[in-house]
Structure 1
Amino acid sequence: MVRARAWQQHEQAVARLRRSYAAVPDGQPVRLAKTTSNLFRPRAVSQAPGLDVSGLTGVLSVDPHTRTAEVQGMCTYEHLVEATLPHGLVPLVVPQLRTITLGGAVSGLGIESTSFRNGLPHESVLEMDVFTGSGVVVTTRPGEELFDTFPNSYGSLGYATRLRIALEPAGPFVDLRHVRFEDAASLAKVVESIIATREHDGVRVDGLDGVAFSPDELYLTLATWREEPGETSDYTGSQIYYRSIRERRTDLLGIHDYLWRWDTDWFWCSGAFGVQHPVVRRLWPRRWRRSEVYHRLVGLDHRFGVVDRLDRRAGRPLRERVVQDVEVPLDRVTEFLDWFDREVGMRPVWLCPLVARRAWPTYPLVPGLPYVNVGFWGTVPVGPEAAQAPLNRAIEARVHELGGHKSLYSDSYYDRETFDRLYAGPLLASVKDRHDPDRRLTDLYDKAVQKR
């Protein structure tokens, strides 16, 4: 009865979505009527009504026998995990931030510590319904053109309304080992070994990520699911997770806290708001120690230019926002980090190994080849050239010189020819011809680079 009611409500939500699509005037771009986002590129403001996806935020069912879940496209991973954990199951990849949606992680790109063995979130999708630019829902599966071009399309082909995904068992507790390295080359060798054997020093590795605090202080955090209870740490209160990596060799977290260990302080970026100061932390409500709160604060600064005004008033050089995630082949990551230290100089950076399970044309990682996602988020003083984004442009060039790829959730500066070559532009255009012939949805280049 509960399952039937959930599906009935889902059909009603899809019907509202169709009606909202019909209400968008001809010639106006079709966008989501959604107030939250994990994107870091500004978007053009449209006065036209948007797509009503308010009823597409839930979990329709969890099947512990087949280890699958039916999930609506706008469901956040926070809500998805709440539904799967009681069954001892988790999605194969759970992105780091609570409010990332399943549809967003699939049409964009998500990653986390299980990506070294499970790839990216779209690789565990078994079937999905896509609301296309033609205003119809298309059910599509792996191997079909719409399905295979949907990852990294960022809504330019449509929006997922329902997804069937694979799940895997996870213990209620997670053992952590923080292993220090003196250089990136040594770290890369251990990553290669773990990817090949799924263990380190004879102990199984279920999750793998790391942090580079400086060129000679890097850590891998090795996570192992376990059933046995123990004394767990709490990094949602006064203690801060990323600092613990340097302070202790081992740790124990509940699986829920492990999945969201990075969300409380937005990795380390909460420091920009003073939230890591002990006094401020005591006064800052726990319910506000979440990534989307910090994201909104950044949005306000972008809107009103507070930091730029303060820098000008104080005579400080203008700062360039450098917020990027890039995938670099494991055997070239040392080169990239050396270059990054010389040219950008931002630390710490996040390191997350991944191996794609198969080829995906719109984000062409080589299947089976180990990559490392290098994530860096902050600002760098560059002076009057800040508006031209010299560091972001240099990063784009260097990443592709090394055979890597860059995620498109933040600012991008490619020319059209380069962009189409890197992200399968002609293929996307041909798929768009079939599923959005009137170009109601904004083109990927216009979204990612032109910010339309």
Structure 2
Amino acid sequence: MAMLNHEAIVGRIAALVESFYSHKEPYRIFHGSTNSTRPVQRDRMVDISGLSSIIQINPEAKTAMVEPNVPMDKLVRATLEYGLIPPVVMEFPGITVGGGFSGSAGESSSFKYGYFDQTVNSVEMVLANGDIVTASKSERPDLFKGAAGSLGTLGIATMIELQLIQAKKYVQTTYHRRGNVRETIQAVQEEIVNPSNDFVDGIIFSKTHGVVITGQLTDEKPESTKSRSFSTAWDPWYYLHVEEQTSSVSSPTVMTEYLPVAEYLFRYDRGGFWVGTEAFRYFGIVPFNRLTRWFLDDFMHTRMLYRALHGSNMQSGNIVQDLSLPYTTAEEFIDYTSQELDIWPLWLCPLRAISPPTFHPSTTLPGPDDSPKPMLNIGLWGKASMDMSKFIQQNRKLESKLTELGGRKVLYSQTYYTDQEFWELYDHRWYDELRNKYQAMTLPTVHEKVKIDVARHQNMRVSVLGKISASWPVAGFMGIFYAIRSGDYLLHRPTFWMQFRAFLSRRG
């Protein structure tokens, strides 16, 4: 039944796409939600929000057939029923399978497994002319490689076959305190070659306080040790917990605790890492403490935070970027951002090397050979200038410095590159050949999807209504209203955690 329903929906999508193609009309994809920080476009849409089912989980083959609009928490909930999890699980529960494939989704297991799409066996797609095809390493391998990370600009992913791995009850989580940026980066490099690690990431709280976090899947936990929870309203936000646990100890120091596997996978959801603190700073009158975080908990999860961000139109004035660099230049880049933007903390996520051409961050530095090298992703999320001209200048300078140091952006975020600058970073010829071969020339390009129209951006608050809607505290209340009106977070949380606890009880 699930497959029949899937085929019917895909057939309708293909017919609509074919109609757009025959009239040479471009379109955009609507899947019902977004974790992008780019402004939402409201022109011609193909609605794929109905593709939100898990078609099949095969425990013997350790695979899952999944539609693109399935979010991470729904996927993990279903796979845990079979004692399995995806190798790469994006840290926000609302990120979808399709978003992970079409974007550059990486997490703390990506040093081992690569980007989310590198755990995909095959993908069913509707091409821009309405054809329904399958792509994999053996069937249309050029499309399979090109569609990953190209933001839906080569066609619409309608079903994805994922690899799965064996789940364990806990992640043995170890915090490695380091005393400066250089030592923290070096510790990341050391831990990613440790074969016992299943997960590696890090947080740099300041120039003198860094923490590398390693994780190992395990079914064993000392009886005297309590597992840690970060999913309920009274729990600490994860980054605050890590900071508190490591602030009063000297460097280097190692400490270990045990997180139930689902608690680990979505540990950064509450507070959106630390971006949720900006909501408290914005309103000012609400103190930031454990009691207020408990009281406002339903607004402090990433599903609600992203909806509030789009509803308030407050993307401007906030830097929300993931920037990947060679290990050799990462420290210099952090020195630059600390001087120019003074944004802390920073998230570190090591990424496995990937061969170009690709829209994923990729580098051949350092070394005389041109083989791809591992990269270190730096999550740079915080306040910037509220003056529009200065804000644009800050972003332009950030992009310039990133290019100078051999880095690349993760393209979920706003970009300010000119057309020439963008295509100097990515292989235009390879991309155009794919677009021509698979009839995708009527679709927007990757750059057209991610670029900011600077002239429009500078003039967006000229009208009186625009100025009022962007003013304090109107913009904030508009975001709250939009999040409540369209939010579905409360439909997800109780079911997920109840079923996860049932999984634990069945296993012992």
Worse overlay, 353-362 or 157-166: 353-362
Quick check: 1:415 aligned with 2:418?
yes
Letter paired with 2:273: F
Q: Which runs of 5+ in 1 are unaligned?
A: 199-203, 308-318
Quick check: 1:209 aligned with 2:209?
no
Worse overlay, 327-336 or 134-143: 134-143
Partner of 1:223: 215
Per the normalisation by structure 2, the TM-score is 0.78
Distance in 2, matches of 1:373 and 1:43, equals 25
Q: Does the Cα contact within 8 Å between 2:70 and 2:96 map onto a contact in 1?
A: yes
Which of 258, 264, 275 in structure 1 is aligned with 2:264?
258
Partner of 1:18: 14
C-alpha deviations, 1:145-186, integer Å up to 9, x for none?
111111221111112111112111231111111111111221
- SS at 1:197 equivalent: coil
Question: Displacement of 1:96 after TM fit?
Answer: 1.3
Partner of 2:378: 374
Distance in 2, matches of 1:17 and 1:172, equals 40
Partner of 2:42: 45
Quick check: 1:62 aligned with 2:57?
yes
Letter paired with 1:108: G
Q: Does the Cα contact within 8 Å between 1:58 and 1:79 map onto a contact in 2?
A: no
Worse overlay, 120-129 or 61-70: 61-70
Distance in 1, matches of 2:12 and 2:97, equals 20
Which of 340, 343, 346 in structure 2 is aligned with 1:343?
340
Which of 134, 139, 161 in structure 1 is aligned with 2:134?
139
The correspondence of residues 229-240 of structure 1 with structure 2, limited to 5 A, is 229=221, 231-236=226-231, 237-238=233-234, 239-240=236-237
Letter paired with 2:122: E
Distance in 2, matches of 1:52 and 1:299, equals 19
Quick check: 1:392 aligned with 2:395?
yes
C-alpha deviations, 1:238-280, integer Å up to 9, x for none?
2211111122233221111111101121001111223853333
Q: Does the Cα contact within 8 Å between 1:174 and 1:255 map onto a contact in 2?
A: yes
Task: Report the number of matched residues.
Answer: 424
Question: Displacement of 1:56 after TM fit?
Answer: 1.3
Distance in 2, matches of 1:356 and 1:84, equals 28
Q: Structure 1 pair 22/134, CA: closer, same or farther in 2 (3 Å)?
A: closer
Q: Does the Cα contact within 8 Å between 1:206 and 1:222 map onto a contact in 2?
A: yes
Question: Displacement of 1:362 after TM fit?
Answer: 3.0
C-alpha deviations, 1:304-333, integer Å up to 9, x for none?
x6x9xxxxxxxxxxx732110011111221
The correspondence of residues 6-155 of structure 1 with structure 2, limited to 5 A, is 6-22=2-18, 24=20, 26-46=23-43, 48=44, 50-142=45-137, 144-155=141-152
Letter paired with 2:63: T
Which of 431, 434, 438 in structure 2 is aligned with 1:435?
438
C-alpha deviations, 1:279-321, integer Å up to 9, x for none?
33332254x442010111111221xx6x9xxxxxxxxxxx732
Worse overlay, 345-354 or 81-90: 81-90
Partner of 2:476: none
Distance in 2, matches of 1:33 and 1:57, equals 13
Question: Displacement of 1:19 after TM fit?
Answer: 3.6
Q: Structure 1 pair 360/93, CA: closer, same or farther in 2 (3 Å)?
A: farther
Question: Displacement of 1:383 after TM fit?
Answer: 4.1
Q: Does the Cα contact within 8 Å between 2:188 and 2:201 map onto a contact in 1?
A: no
Partner of 1:444: 446
Question: Displacement of 1:27 after TM fit?
Answer: 4.7
Distance in 1, matches of 2:276 and 2:120, equals 32
Which of 290, 296, 303 in structure 2 is aligned with 1:278?
290
RMSD: 2.3
Q: Does the Cα contact within 8 Å between 2:178 and 2:184 map onto a contact in 1?
A: yes
Q: Structure 1 pair 431/384, CA: closer, same or farther in 2 (3 Å)?
A: closer
Q: Structure 1 pair 384/111, CA: closer, same or farther in 2 (3 Å)?
A: closer
C-alpha deviations, 1:325-381, integer Å up to 9, x for none?
011111221111111111221001110111135444333344662211101112223
Distance in 2, matches of 1:285 and 1:181, equals 31
Which of 161, 177, 180 in structure 2 is aligned with 1:180?
177
Distance in 2, matches of 1:443 and 1:357, equals 22
Per the normalisation by structure 1, the TM-score is 0.88
Distance in 1, matches of 2:452 and 2:104, equals 20
Q: Percent identity?
A: 27
Partner of 2:461: none
